[in-house]
Amino acid sequence: MTIRLNLNEVPYPPSPKVIDEVTKFIKVCNRYPPSSIYKRLKESIAIYNDVRYGNVLVDSGATNILHMILVRAKKLGGRVITYRPTFPYPLEYAKNIGIQVLYVDLDREFRLHIEDLLQLDPKENDVIMIVNPNNPTGNIVLGSVSHMRELLNSGALVIHDEVYFEFSGFTFKDLIKDYDNLVIVRSLSKAFALAGFRVGYALASEELVSELRNYQQYYSIPTVSVVAAIAALSDLDYMRFIVSNVIKEREWVLNRLNEIKGISPYRSLTNFILISLKDIGVKGEEMFNYLKQNGVYVTYYPHEPRLTYCIRVSIGLREENEVFIKLLKSHVSRLRG
């Protein structure tokens, strides 16, 4: 049996409402849907986030929205300013299309100091990218509204990636009322259990949303994904059930990890935990290979120097987490002699 704890998926199926509506749609999927269905999705997202309809941009996954913003930055001749360690894939895309990416380092507690970013002199055409809670560290890297305002006052476009918002409850969403250069990026892949449907969205000023739509393909979201997303947003109780269970299970996993001598788990506000193996001198890749041989997949970071001795594990079902803990504890005990 393979246990996947490497992609930050939730271990629960979508809402029964999603399954019901998708099943109905499949029976008529030979027909093009009415265009009003896309409007319904935007309306549902606007209501869920307590924003105006014009503040919402929807696309096929949060990553696609990030790519749109980066294409805009490329056209304007801007740079990307961010930090390490963080979610690497949009940054790799930026480099691949010829955008200069500048990094600062998070401090020892994986916190971001905005003066480090501001020393890079962000300009109007630049993009400042912040993932918060951060992936893979799981913590809030920037928690001050006044500090966020300082970044926004630089004039650069600030992306605040909040794909783990439902687990953390932390957001700068209300600042879109005051700033035309802030984009909040979220996803239905995590707490709404729709990873396979690929639905992401952005919240921003109406002017910025209108501009970003120029970089969007028509009908970029499969209709079945739109149907699933509308249904998921109609069942917030189920989403809260998922979040509550994941948080409870995360704390159980964290407590079990703290009982294993020689490893250091970091506290998390997400559905994953970063674990340091440095005290026992084990690189993340070695632990990854051992766990993989035993049917459990986690994530390691061979290209991130500060995380060479770390693995990241997603929170699964109790029986999956028990297998992971048992394997990890057994291997660490053997290594410590």
The whole-number average pLDDT for the span 186-213 is 98
* Domain 32-234, CATH among 3.30.750.24, 3.40.718.10, 3.50.7.10, 3.40.640.10: 3.40.640.10
Per-residue model confidence (pLDDT) at position 8: 98
Query: In this predicted model, what pLDDT tens digit does every residue of 108-122 receive, in sequence order?
Result: 999 999 999 999 999
Query: In this predicted model, what pLDDT tens digit does every residue of 165-186 receive, in sequence order?
Result: 999 999 999 999 999 999 999 9
Q: Is the pLDDT of residue 299 over 80?
A: yes
Helices (H), the chain: 16-26, 36-49, 62-76, 89-96, 114-118, 145-153, 165-168, 206-212, 223-233, 236-258, 284-293, 318-336
Distance between CA atoms of residues 328 and 289, nearest Å: 12
Burial letters 185-195, b for 16+ CB under 10 A, else e: bbbbbbbbbbb
Per-residue model confidence (pLDDT) at position 335: 84
Q: Is the pLDDT of residue 337 over 80?
A: no
**How much is the pTM?**
0.96
The whole-number average pLDDT for the span 60-78 is 96
Domain spans, the chain = 3-11+237-336, 32-234
Q: Is the pLDDT of residue 327 over 90?
A: yes
CATH code given to domain 3-11+237-336: 3.90.1150.10
The dihedral of CA 311, 316, 321, 323: what is its sign? negative
Per-residue model confidence (pLDDT) at position 219: 78
Per-residue model confidence (pLDDT) at position 218: 80
Mean per-residue pLDDT of the chain: 97
